[in-house]
Chain A
Amino acid sequence: MLRFLVGFFLIISVIHTEQVFANTFVFTAIPDEDESKLRSRFDKVATYLTNQLAIEVKYIPVKSYGAAVTAFRNNQVQLAWFGGLSGVRARALVSGSTAIAQGVEDPNFQTYFIAHSSTGLKKSSNFPIIIAGKTFTFGSKGSTSGRLMPEFYIRKHFSKSPNKVFSRVGFSGNHSRTISLVQSGAFQIGATNFQVWKKDLAAGKIDTSKVSVIWETPSYPDYNWTIRGDVDKNFGSGLIERVKTALLNLKDPDLLASFPRKGFIPASNADFRPIVTVGKQIGLIE
């Protein structure tokens, strides 16, 4: 038995020793929707970038928005697919870092307020004041479309914090979960990312007899690819530009579905100033 175990573990160790790639370019993405298969989805993007950039590119999965920002700040990832708020936070922490690309949809992003059918609420173009006193779920605590913008509109219309407006406030963790929690009736109202709503609707995951959109926020800028400023110095000059080009040239619908976006367009730090203003206003950014 002893010998068997020794042999077994030696084999394991040989197979599983993590290879340390010198100078691997690493990226991550905020876990904003279905987390399973996150790795298989983004590994394809890593392969695409490896081919385009002719350097080793690796993806690492993270469990939260905060972890994505921390990894970027600590230079464990050099490139990240952030939300509006996490991108602003990350760029504030890493001087010299820039937003280089965003989704075609991102300059005009929206949050959908959704409600369970038992509330009897119907879609309206005015902010639904009637949701006061009901139960409400945000998405992740660090999300732009699932937290920052809905909280902004709630505070704007009620002049009170969400805790005081609703009988119960939850944080589902991500957008798909917000939809399923409202659909199951665990929460009466929720706020979710409109892209994820459309994607899940198309995929047949949403039962519209149980959950429906009751209000759409005005548009705001959201997701973006942000890269560290020291990448040129550490990985060879011109890499930032090449990463940007590779992202803008990404046309494979299979890869784009991971985000989900129709394509990528250029972005700059200045595009996200509205997010900074709103973040400061509701106290999520200091």
Chain B
Amino acid sequence: MEKTLFSLEKTTIQYNGHAILSDISLRIEEGSKIALVGQSGAGKSTLLTQLYEASNRDVALVPQELGLVRNLSVFHNIYMGRLNRHGAFYNILNLIKPTQKELINVRPVAEKLGLADKLFAPVQELSGGQQQRTAVGRAIFKGSPVFFGDEPVSAVDEHQSHTVLSTIMKSHKTVILSMHDVKLALHYSDRVIGLKNGVKVLDESTRGMKTSDLDDLYQE
């Protein structure tokens, strides 16, 4: 039995008297690779946020809105994953002119995600997919064993989605991703949690599961 990292007990979240999550209980064990699936509005993002708040925030996070600093380059955004590891002076130095040492650290991450040629481009000049990969790069660079991603590849094309997702899986022991692409979700996770109108309707191992097994989640 693996160690439990996070757990929720009968959690209900309401907003304006309307339940977004109702009565959710779950346990996340170390080493599990979990996909959150369900229609948009089913409560995936809220659940992910809830788990993130329950963590000590030393989790690598890719929020849906990405949280990039749009005027800074890809390098700086990725570098921000490790902002807490250095003093203010070193950080300011790297803001003004990236040091050789940090370039050596950051470049491989950007290369893996296909961003090597855009390393010094301001993020606001990039496409949606490139921005999403930058946010993933920052999360990976953080070097945390746990990764939370809210639709981290929604704007990335299919071929690159595989590269990105396998990189995420390889670099983190525990991963929770909310996904709308059911095929990708089943391919990369070992456990799938299905939400429908804020209620947990499915929580199973993905072994032997077919995409059609999830159809129920997407029917009115």
**Do A and B touch (CB < 8 Å)?**
no
